[in-house]
Amino acid sequence: YDIVADSQTQPVGSGGGTAAPLGVGVYKAGPDGIDSALTYGVTVTEGQSPSTDTFTKPLTTGWNLISLPLTPEDSSTSAVLGNDTIVYDKVYRYDATTPKQFVDETSGTMEPGIGYFVYVTTAGTWNYTGTSVSSTDLDLKSGLNMIGVPNCTISISSAMGSTDYRYVARWNAAEEKFEVHNLKAPSAFHDFTTMVAGEGYFISASSDYPLTLSCSG
């Protein structure tokens, strides 16, 4: 079972001296887990584990561009997408490094921060469980990047800031077309102004650039 450290007092070593402090968090219990935790001065609750969330999103027949706003408990593609309400047969991510190409992840893994094209043969509601992602660190490469966003809605203008980019694009699965937020175009010509949890996006970067997308702004 797990030990969850809710708070910490002054830790005491087995010989009476000061021991190295334990941070608040979850610890695997050994045979003397509770006693050891108390010796080190933490308040514990037995049998708890980190909280998980469930994310749901309707997917239409055909190509859908998605991303993971939760860190999945099981990162295999079959576990992330394998619920009873949708059927899919292809999953691709885009490798922005050389050679720039799509990579088949149908039998691979999926993780936050990456956009995935999923070909759905039976439409339904996608759902999976995991831990909410509040911030995503991206390493943009010059040219196209297919990315995912954290578990929130983010304004493109504030999120991208001074990033050297040309445009952000998303895939409209219902109408089977791309929609674009073009940095150089007047706001009236922007198809969208926010990036939303669960959606995947293309960013056309003018140069290599690190970017952090955060729910805290």
Tens of pLDDT, residue by residue over 67-116, are 999 999 999 999 999 987 899 999 999 999 988 999 999 999 999 999 99
CA distance 23 to 145: 37
> Which two tokens mark 15?
């010989």
**pLDDT value of residue 183:** 87
Local structure of residue 128 (DSSP, 8 states): E
| Local confidence pLDDT in tens for the 217 residues of the chain | 444 544 444 444 445 444 444 454 444 444 444 444 444 444 444 444 557 899 999 999 999 999 999 999 999 999 999 987 899 999 999 999 988 999 999 999 999 999 999 999 999 999 999 999 999 999 999 999 999 999 999 999 888 887 889 999 999 999 999 999 998 888 889 999 999 999 999 999 999 999 999 998 6
199: left (phi over 0), alpha (psi -120 to 50) or beta: beta
Task: Specify whether the CB–CB gap between 198 and 69 falls below 8 A.
Answer: yes
From first CA to last CA, the distance across the chain in angstroms is 37
Task: Specify whether the CB–CB gap between 190 and 56 falls below 8 A.
Answer: no
- Tokens 């935790």: give the residue: 37
CA distance 209 to 166: 13
For 57, 122, 173, 175, the CA distances from 60, given in Å and listed in that order, are: 10, 8, 7, 10
**pLDDT value of residue 31:** 47
